[in-house]
Structure 1
Amino acid sequence: MKRLFFVEPVIALYTLPGMVDVLLIQQYIYRRIWEKETNSSYIENGSNFSCHQNHSDPVYMKQQVVQGISSHFFMYMSLLQSIPGLIVTFILGTYSDHYGRRLSLLLPTVGAMLASLGFLAVTYFSWPIYVIFIPVTLGACFGGFTALFGGAFAYVADISSIKHKNMRMALLDMIVGVIGGIGVLSSGYLLRIVGFNWLFLSTSLINFTNIVYIIFFLEESIQVSRDDQDQVSGCDKFREILSGILILCTTSSFRKRAQIGMLLFAFSTFALVDFGAAGLFTLYELNTPLCWNEILIGYGSAAGLITFLTSFLGVTLFSRYLQDSCIVLIGMWSFVGGMIMAIFATTTLRMFLVRLVSLFAVMPFPVLRSMMSKLVSSKDQGVLFACVACLENVGGTLSSTIFNNVYAATVEGFAGFSFLLAACLSLIPVFILCFLLCWRPQEEDYTGLIISDDSS
């Protein structure tokens, strides 16, 4: 049977249950903490879910306590995902350079299915919410989303020409947005109809379908003969994995290394502020004065994920006329504008306008990946995207720690302070890209290392 060179279905089938799981588990934790702290059930009341706005109401004070406890709980979940996910991502990324990409796609999908089954067990048997830490950690031990996305971007880099890398990588991000938007938009309605148990069972089945596709239908982008794999011992494989990052840092000129280093720092910094701010939206929307229910949360999350589609269209259009650095700067300023709007988002309309201002906020991610991919040889794509994924993992963990603590400390006095912090920190990658734009104005410089590597 002929296999396919399409990694996009893997991203779609991983994103759909992944987005739904994240949104559902956050709401499930919030409801359980609410019931414990207020000693009352989490009751639907019209358009609101047990949301009190009278500051003199004792229940309002408990509501603020629930906000703080939930914020810290989400932070602990993120920390548990970080270290094992970081290690496995780097190992799988560098391993894939020598022995193929499919393993770096398969293992995270298996971990996602096990995590979904774990969430199902917690909700079905009403176990203590701290048991949720077990499936979260288990999923991270298989690499998690960072390993899978790192493998997927390396796969695309293998099969794409330099001219089309921007678009192909932006396409993956667009799939994340569109498919994830469908998932979160429908999750609110489905939660009311079928409840947590059936939804977690459905996400487990989708992950299983993804596993079948990777094993039986996806073609390997790097062809390695079975004899070559058998001739290499386990120690040699491990040595190759450890030497991957060293090779990446020593096979190019100082100018190239400096550019890669600055791009990696800009990427990780922007990922930190983007993930940190986005991770607070659900709590911010559940709190006063918005008091959104699960339907509005689904609409809001879907509207936010539409930015992946608009960013893909932006990358496709701007790549014809602008340098990559300019495209990244447009996306970063779009994100800054959205964060400033979020500070003053005290009504439902304004909260939706935050997503409108942030239409191009996702553009920096695929373009920065493409810029770095153009700076390294074809033999080092796996280790590069493993580094990118690891930095993305670290950035997500630090963002959860920083922004959840800041939000918990400022939620009573100034709930929008975290968004102001995100806007200010975004200026760091902006300055880096401005410097690179002045230092290396010619687009042709990107391909210098690749051309020299191929000619040699």
Structure 2
Amino acid sequence: MGPEATCPWSGPLPRLRVRTLIEPVVASTQVAASLYEAGLLLVVKASFGAGAGASSNHSASPSPRDALEDEQQRAISNFYIVYNLVAGLTPLLSAYGLGWLSDRYHRKISICVSLLGFLLSRLGLLLKVLLDWPVEVLYGAAALNGLCGGFSAFWSGVMALGSLGSSEDRRSLRLILLDLILGLAGFCGSMASGHLFKQMTGHHSGQGLVLTACSVSCATFALVYSLLVLKVPESTASPRTALPAVDTVSGTIGTYRTLDPDQSDKQGVEGYPPSPGKAVPKKTVIALLFVGAVIYDLAVVGTVDVMPLFVLREPLRWNQVQVGYGMAAGYTIFITSFLGVLLFSRCFRDTTMIVIGMVSFGSGALLLAFVKETYMFYIARAVMLFALIPVTTIRSAMSKLIKDSSYGKVFVILQLSLALTGVVTSTVYNKIYQLTMEKFVGTCFALSSFLSFLAIIPIGIVAYKQASWLQYGDIAEK
């Protein structure tokens, strides 16, 4: 390398390392997504009329207006049922293939192709606002996004690059850091969304033009950056032979290592072979983690899908700015979950952290079911402060149980499993919401709370099996 190697900050190597960072793509994509989500809700609400102009909080309303509001809620809910079906099912046709191509040929394939679809869908919303097209056009935009892989292909590609560029003992922190970037970007976008939506003056059909244009701009930047700037990092996974030096029995250092069944082979070599009945097979661990992730995702997706409808009607009846603030509050869990991983990983095992996150979300969802005032909504969201830990921790744990050459396929299978169950959940929850919104509007949130606590069972089985095996290993060592 010559003289370039003498200065660690001036040669091509530092520039290359900077170009391997996926964070700019994650941040710009999530800003675009948060603007799009808020814009989609407000544009659809305006398109279905029935009190679209009544965005302030009124305490009393005549019964005809209540009937019109309920009809509008059903129309919005039916729109989201179809939209979520299209957005959730179309990635099944392409996401796995993109993951396979990424593993075999180039890691950026799934990211770049999915970002292309992401941009096309944002352009669809922009054209709908600009040309006053019918809302059914947005179904086609969602289909284009899904056929290009959707979020399933994009996030699995991001997780693969994040796993490749980090050592095993730092991978959990690396992946939760990506989630933190996602949350911070979403928070900023959501906070600005309500204000941007109201910027367009003039004819009513153009309302939201500034918001959608900003979303398209951020999506364009993400695609251009991933194509021209982003580089694939070299694998920095630490060799497994270094693991025995860590205190894996106490589980106080190096999160996720207690989930690695290969450690049983290492300890068997060191003089105390594990009992065949006590060891946890790798496939069993992965299967239980999958089940826990899917059940927990059912609870989360159901809550997220119903919440926008919940805040638009009584008892809250939020306006555009309040909707943006409410969405921003949801993104704060990315920050608190990141801090939670930093704290809990020093004194708890992975399964304990997963359970903490599930209890946090389940408790918050239960409180959300009885919200009557805006301040109560934010209290319930605050209780969910560790809700992001479970799926992120499960994903990181799985990366320790597979080869790096299979990251793309395994991550996309997990993401598609979550997407598929999410589609079913979205349909079921929206129908439940329509049937119960006049009797007990918090029914869906109570159901989510139950599912969140139910998801603890498979994780608890993993923890019990591992504790039994670790106890046997401790006795054998003595």
Q: Report the TM-score when normalising by structure 1.
A: 0.86
2:429 & 2:380 partners in 1: Cα distance?
Answer: 18
1:220 & 1:152 partners in 2: Cα distance?
Answer: 11
> Match for 2:191: what amino acid?
L
Alignment gaps of 5+ in structure 1 = 224-251, 445-456
Q: In structure 1, what is the equivalent of residue 180 of structure 2?
A: 174
Q: In structure 1, what is the equivalent of residue 228 of structure 2?
A: 216
Contact 1:101–1:222 (CA under 8 A) maintained in structure 2: no
2:377 & 2:91 partners in 1: Cα distance?
Answer: 33
2:86 to 80, 83, 86: 80
1:443 & 1:401 partners in 2: Cα distance?
Answer: 42
> Match for 2:226: what amino acid?
I
1:382 & 1:423 partners in 2: Cα distance?
Answer: 32
Shift of 1:396: 2.0
Q: In structure 2, what is the equivalent of residue 197 of structure 1?
A: 209
Q: In structure 1, what is the equivalent of residue 109 of structure 2?
A: 103
2:113 & 2:308 partners in 1: Cα distance?
Answer: 29
Shift of 1:267: 0.9
* Identity value in percent: 28
Contact 2:114–2:145 (CA under 8 A) maintained in structure 1: yes
Q: In structure 2, what is the equivalent of residue 43 of structure 1?
A: 53
1:401–1:141 CA distance, 2 compared to 1 (3 A): same
Shift of 1:443: 11
Shift of 1:297: 1.2
1:443–1:387 CA distance, 2 compared to 1 (3 A): farther
- Is 1:428 the counterpart of 2:454 in the alignment? yes
Q: In structure 2, what is the equivalent of residue 8 of structure 1?
A: 23
Q: In structure 1, what is the equivalent of residue 144 of structure 2?
A: 138
2:34 & 2:414 partners in 1: Cα distance?
Answer: 21
> Match for 1:43: what amino acid?
G
2:427 to 396, 401, 417: 401
Shift of 1:52: 7.2
1:71 to 72, 77, 94: 77
Larger CA deviation: 194-203 vs 282-291: 194-203
Q: In structure 1, what is the equivalent of residue 298 of structure 2?
A: 272
Alignment gaps of 5+ in structure 2 = 1-11, 201-206, 236-264, 266-278, 471-478
- Is 1:335 the counterpart of 2:345 in the alignment? no
Contact 2:32–2:189 (CA under 8 A) maintained in structure 1: yes
1:52 & 1:138 partners in 2: Cα distance?
Answer: 42
Q: In structure 2, what is the equivalent of residue 94 of structure 1?
A: 100
- Look up the SS of the partner of 1:426 in the other structure: helix
Q: In structure 1, what is the equivalent of residue 119 of structure 2?
A: 113
> Match for 1:326: what amino acid?
T
1:158 to 164, 167, 171: 164
Deviations along 1:95-146, one digit per CA (max 9) or x if unpaired, are: 2112121111111111111111111111111111111111111111111111
Q: In structure 1, what is the equivalent of residue 276 of structure 2?
A: none
1:396 & 1:18 partners in 2: Cα distance?
Answer: 18
Shift of 1:222: 6.2
Shift of 1:94: 2.1
Question: Going by fraction, where is helix more abundant, 1 or 2?
Answer: 1
Shift of 1:206: 1.3
> Match for 2:164: what amino acid?
D
- Look up the SS of the partner of 1:128 in the other structure: coil
2:351 & 2:93 partners in 1: Cα distance?
Answer: 30
Shift of 1:12: 0.8
Q: In structure 1, what is the equivalent of residue 241 of structure 2?
A: none
1:313 & 1:89 partners in 2: Cα distance?
Answer: 31
- Look up the SS of the partner of 1:441 in the other structure: helix
Q: In structure 2, what is the equivalent of residue 362 of structure 1?
A: 388
Q: In structure 1, what is the equivalent of residue 43 of structure 2?
A: 28
> Match for 2:456: what amino acid?
V
Q: In structure 2, what is the equivalent of residue 350 of structure 1?
A: 376
Q: In structure 1, what is the equivalent of residue 473 of structure 2?
A: none
- Look up the SS of the partner of 1:279 in the other structure: helix
Shift of 1:217: 1.2
Shift of 1:442: 8.6
Contact 2:280–2:466 (CA under 8 A) maintained in structure 1: no
1:328 & 1:412 partners in 2: Cα distance?
Answer: 35
2:358 & 2:280 partners in 1: Cα distance?
Answer: 27
1:112 & 1:167 partners in 2: Cα distance?
Answer: 27
Contact 2:280–2:465 (CA under 8 A) maintained in structure 1: no
Q: In structure 1, what is the equivalent of residue 335 of structure 2?
A: 309
- Look up the SS of the partner of 2:104 in the other structure: helix
Q: RMSD between aligned alpha carbons?
A: 2.1
1:428 & 1:99 partners in 2: Cα distance?
Answer: 40
2:78 & 2:59 partners in 1: Cα distance?
Answer: 21
Q: In structure 1, what is the equivalent of residue 63 of structure 2?
A: 57
Contact 2:86–2:139 (CA under 8 A) maintained in structure 1: yes
- Is 1:391 the counterpart of 2:417 in the alignment? yes
Deviations along 1:254-284, one digit per CA (max 9) or x if unpaired, are: 8111111111121122112101101211110
Runs of 4+ residues deviating >6 angstroms: none
> Match for 2:439: what amino acid?
G
Contact 2:199–2:210 (CA under 8 A) maintained in structure 1: no
Deviations along 1:279-332, one digit per CA (max 9) or x if unpaired, are: 211110111011111111111111111011000110111111110000000000
Shift of 1:42: 2.2
Alignment of 1:225-304 (within 5 A): 255-304=281-330
1:437 & 1:119 partners in 2: Cα distance?
Answer: 46
1:279 & 1:298 partners in 2: Cα distance?
Answer: 15
1:52–1:73 CA distance, 2 compared to 1 (3 A): farther
Q: Report the TM-score when normalising by structure 2.
A: 0.82
Contact 2:197–2:209 (CA under 8 A) maintained in structure 1: no
